[in-house]
Amino acid sequence: MRPARPVAYSRVQIALHWLVAALVLEQYASSGAILRSHTYHRLGWRPSASDLLLHSLHNRAGLAIIGLMLARLALRLWIGAPAPMVAVGSLAARLAQGVHFAFYAVLIAEGVTGAVASYFWWPMSAVHVILFDLLLALVTIHVAAALWGQFVRKDAALRRIAIWAPSSRL
């Protein structure tokens, strides 16, 4: 018999969620250095020390995101996730589940394509950029749905993932 779904995400799930969110923001902020570094290299120029540092940070943070997302996926399978804030089986619940699944798939694929582009085959960067555009769309949908639930439906959905109000588990 499967245990009941948790009421809220665990402390570890919440921490990993916000750590990945922060790293995605870092990835966005440091992504320009990747293009500049490669463009300068092709032109025979030396990239700036700050661009090389940001390039290295971007690569390492991308690898960290892969590991963190795999940990999040393992925890989701082990601990579970709270039921959607809308009726189970409804279109809204299925869409929410689909967006969450897409986040896992896109973030892991984003990291893998970035690693391939950086360390093995630069043309993979085109796929990496497309995945980032898809990630931005998912973030927009995710944030809009969370704000809709919080302020229009008034369902307190944000409380389940809030740093200030974690569940007592893990």
Q: If you write DSSP's letter for every residue of 47-62 in order, what string do you get?
A: PPHHHHHHHHHHHHHH
User: What pLDDT sits at residue 154?
Assistant: 82
User: What pLDDT sits at residue 168?
Assistant: 46
Q: pLDDT, tens digit, for every residue of 63-108?
A: 999 999 999 999 999 988 887 777 767 888 888 889 999 999 999 9
Name residue, tokens 């007592």: 168
User: What pLDDT sits at residue 133?
Assistant: 96
The Cβ-side half-sphere exposure at 161, using a 13 Å CA radius, reads: 19
The neighbour count for residue 11, using CB atoms within 10 Å, is: 14
- Beta carbons of 55 and 47 less than 8 angstroms apart: yes
User: What pLDDT sits at residue 1?
Assistant: 47
* Mean pLDDT score of the chain: 88
Q: At residue 110, does pLDDT exceed 80?
A: yes
Q: pLDDT, tens digit, for every residue of 1-59?
A: 455 777 778 889 999 999 999 999 999 999 999 989 988 988 999 999 999 999 999 99
Give 128's pLDDT tier (boundaries 50, 70, 90). Answer: very high
pTM of the entire predicted model: 0.86
Token pair listed for 52: 């090389």
- Beta carbons of 20 and 68 less than 8 angstroms apart: yes
Three-state DSSP at 122 gives helix
Q: At residue 170, does pLDDT exceed 70?
A: no
